[in-house]
């Protein structure tokens, strides 16, 4: 079956959101699940379509097609690195997604590294880390996160061999609440304690500019499919030394400099190729680079303002429904991106999501691959609201470039009718 993607109408009349940054969609289908996977930006689809006739091997062929594809792949690496403010000596490694990027970093940690995270992280930033990692409790606010990290790193440096590496791994924006984490402050604290810091920017990058240098983080991990670039490429960007010293993430062709006749006679290459064994995902890289180019040229402040107005409308609408309770970690006014999780009192979240789907409104339900945080916030929501009939899982609505006031209003109206 051939599915024709129908371009969504250009979003609103806001020039900053029009033109090169419109997204594809299906008329009548309201997608409020951007945090899971964002729709495809037209520029990503166009870039892939333009390259498809040339589609051939990357770094493997001498023909014109292959050379063009190799060039496109390496240009994409440059574009993506520049977009995220990579330092000249950072590696920009294409991966499948953020999970893959953080697992790669996890495999590249020098022996004896302690990883410090907060319990509010997505599973992708909780599970790849070695035994002995430290998981700090979910803080009450951003300032407490900074204080807690400072105390924990001070303690770690006193207790452990001070020469051993420490990596702090934090999210930029929560996939459950959309709340922003104080990344630059956490980076300052980490570096004061001679620790490195990795930023999980899966939810941050689609909403605000992320710049390694400006934030002074050592690594950043991103998913293309959440950044309007389908075709499945993510990226890990960061310091070269650990990555070049680590065994290859994927052993095989492309990762080697020389392979001898003896079983283990292998010299692995250095640089990004060391961890990109096998034929790379050219189209994913090109799609991601196309979106990075378009976002770099866009008025990000205007996009952000527009999203914040929609988010306020969504939260106000939900807040006015007496049977809806929002989940949050920090205070209600804490800065956040366009993600809201909530429950409908007395209603199973999966049932509500299915009813919304029947009205062509797509949201997410469950614990959002952040089980420790989601369970905790559900408990807090019950205590805060005084309600004993909250369900054990939640709903999540998330917005972005193609979202409109009508989408938000339709969700709120549908929930108002679902008591
Ligand atoms: C904050 C955060 N980190 C990591 C991930 C993992 O992303 P992916 O599934 O693209 O690997 C997600 C996905 O929802 C996320 O929200």
pLDDT in tens, 220-272: 999 999 999 999 999 999 999 999 999 999 999 999 999 999 989 999 999 99
> From ligand 1's centre to the CA of 204, what distance in Å?
11
Q: How far is CA 370 from the centre of its chain?
A: 13
- CA 359, CA 290: separation in Å to the nearest integer? 33
**pLDDT value of position 418:** 62
Q: For 275, how many CA atoms within 13 A lie in the half-sphere containing its CB?
A: 28
- Atom 7 of ligand 1: nearest residue by CA position: 98
Residue 117 beta carbon below 6 angstroms from any ligand 1 atom:
no
Residue 226 CA, closest ligand 1 atom number: 10
Burial 319-347 (b: 16+ CB within 10 A, else e): eebebbbbbbbbeeeeebbbbbbbbbbeb
Mutate to test the pocket of ligand 1, among 94, 117, 226 (most ligand atoms within 8 A of CB): 226
Q: DSSP assignment of 47-98, as one string?
A: HHHHHGGG---SSS--SHHHHHHHHHHHHHHHHHHHHTT--TT-EEEEESSH
Q: Is 292 a catalytic residue?
A: no
**pLDDT value of position 159:** 86
Q: Is 135 helix (H, G, I), strand (E, B) or coil?
A: strand
Residue 200 CA, closest ligand 1 atom number: 3
> From ligand 1's centre to the CA of 322, what distance in Å?
31
112: β partners = none
Diameter of the chain by CA atoms? 72
Residue 70 beta carbon below 6 angstroms from any ligand 1 atom:
no
226: β partners = none
- CA 21, CA 188: separation in Å to the nearest integer? 34
**Which residues have a Cβ under 8 Å from the Cβ of 153 and sit 6 or more positions away?**
116, 166, 168, 189, 190, 193, 195
**pLDDT value of position 16:** 38
Domains delineated in the chain: 6-39+299-416 (3.90.1150.10), 47-297 (3.40.640.10)
Residue 95 beta carbon below 6 angstroms from any ligand 1 atom:
no
**Which residues have a Cβ under 8 Å from the Cβ of 1 and sit 6 or more positions away?**
none
**Which residues have a Cβ under 8 Å from the Cβ of 187 and sit 6 or more positions away?**
197, 215, 216, 217
Q: Which two tokens stand for residue 229?
A: 């670039």
Q: Is 343 helix (H, G, I), strand (E, B) or coil?
A: strand
- CA 282, CA 91: separation in Å to the nearest integer? 17
For residue 244, count CB atoms less than 10 angstroms from its CB and return exposed for 0-12, middle for 13-18, buried for 19 or more.
middle
Q: How far is CA 344 from the centre of its chain?
A: 27
Residue 97 beta carbon below 6 angstroms from any ligand 1 atom:
yes
Q: Are 345 and 325 in contact (CB under 8 A)?
A: yes
**Which residues have a Cβ under 8 Å from the Cβ of 276 and sit 6 or more positions away?**
93, 94, 250, 254, 255
Cα dihedral sign, 208-210-211-217: positive
**pLDDT digit string (tens) for the chain, length 419 residues:** 233 333 344 333 333 344 479 999 999 999 999 999 999 999 999 999 999 999 999 999 999 999 999 999 999 999 999 999 999 999 999 999 999 999 999 999 999 999 999 999 999 999 999 999 999 999 999 999 999 999 999 999 888 787 899 999 999 999 999 999 999 999 999 999 999 999 999 999 999 999 999 999 999 999 999 999 999 999 999 999 999 999 999 999 999 999 999 989 999 999 999 999 999 999 999 999 999 999 999 999 999 999 999 999 999 999 999 999 999 999 999 999 999 999 999 999 999 999 999 999 999 999 999 999 999 999 999 999 999 999 999 999 999 999 999 999 999 999 998 66
- CA 299, CA 302: separation in Å to the nearest integer? 5
Phi, psi (rounded to 5 degrees) for 83? -60, -35
**pLDDT value of position 1:** 29
- CA 100, CA 249: separation in Å to the nearest integer? 10
SS (H, E, C) 168-189: EEEECECCCCCEECCHHHHHHH
Q: Are 119 and 372 in contact (CB under 8 A)?
A: yes
Long-range contacts of 16-19 (CB under 8 A, 24+ apart): 16/298, 16/299, 16/302, 16/303, 16/306, 17/302, 17/303, 17/306, 17/401
Nearest CA among 319, 320, 321, 339 for reference residue 329: 339
Which of 40, 69, 292, 369 is an active site residue? Answer: 369
Q: Which two tokens stand for residue 46?
A: 């166009």
**pLDDT value of position 125:** 98
């Amino acid at each position: 079956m051939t599915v024709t993607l129908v371009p969504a109408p250009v979003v609103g009349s806001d020039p900053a959101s029009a033109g090169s940054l419109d997204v594809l969609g299906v008329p009548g289908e309201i997608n409020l699940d951007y945090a899971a996977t964002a729709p495809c930006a037209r520029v990503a689809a166009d870039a892939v379509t333009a390259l498809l006739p040339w589609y051939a091997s990357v770094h493997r062929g001498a023909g014109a097609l292959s050379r063009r594809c190799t060039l496109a792949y390496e240009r994409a690496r440059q574009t993506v690195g520049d977009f995220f403010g990579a330092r000249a000596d950072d590696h920009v490694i294409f991966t499948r997604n953020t999970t893959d990027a953080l697992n790669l970093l996890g495999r590249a940690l020098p022996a004896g590294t302690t990883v410090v995270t907060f319990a509010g992280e997505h599973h992708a930033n909780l599970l790849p880390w070695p035994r002995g990692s430290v998981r700090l409790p979910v803080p009450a606010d951003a300032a407490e996160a900074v204080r807690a990290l400072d105390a924990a790193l001070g303690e770690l440096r006193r207790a452990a061999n001070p020469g051993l590496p420490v990596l702090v791994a934090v999210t930029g924006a929560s996939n459950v609440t959309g709340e922003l984490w104080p990344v630059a402050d956490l980076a300052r604290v980490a570096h004061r304690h001679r620790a490195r810091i990795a930023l999980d920017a899966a939810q941050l990058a689609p909403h605000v500019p992320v710049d390694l240098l400006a934030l002074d983080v050592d690594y950043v991990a991103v998913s293309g499919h959440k950044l309007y670039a389908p075709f499945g490429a993510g990226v890990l960007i960061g310091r070269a030394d650990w990555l070049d010293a680590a065994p290859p993430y994927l052993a095989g062709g492309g990762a080697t400099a020389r392979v001898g006749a003896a079983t283990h006679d292998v010299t692995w290459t250095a640089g990004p190729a060391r961890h990109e064994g096998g034929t790379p995902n050219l189209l994913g890289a090109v799609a991601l680079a196309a979106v990075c180019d378009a976002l770099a040229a866009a008025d990000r402040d205007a996009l952000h303002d527009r999203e914040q107005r929609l988010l306020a409308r969504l939260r106000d609408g939900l807040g006015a429904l007496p049977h809806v309770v929002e989940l949050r970690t920090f205070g209600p006014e804490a800065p956040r991106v366009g993600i809201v999780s909530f429950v409908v009192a007395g209603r199973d979240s999966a049932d509500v999501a299915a009813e919304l789907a029947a009205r062509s409104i797509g949201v997410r339900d469950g614990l959002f691959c952040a089980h420790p945080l989601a369970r905790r916030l559900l408990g807090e929501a019950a205590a805060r609201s005084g309600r004993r009939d909250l369900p054990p899982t939640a709903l999540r609505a998330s917005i972005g470039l193609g979202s409109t006031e009508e989408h938000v209003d339709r969700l709120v109206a549908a929930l108002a009718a679902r008591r």
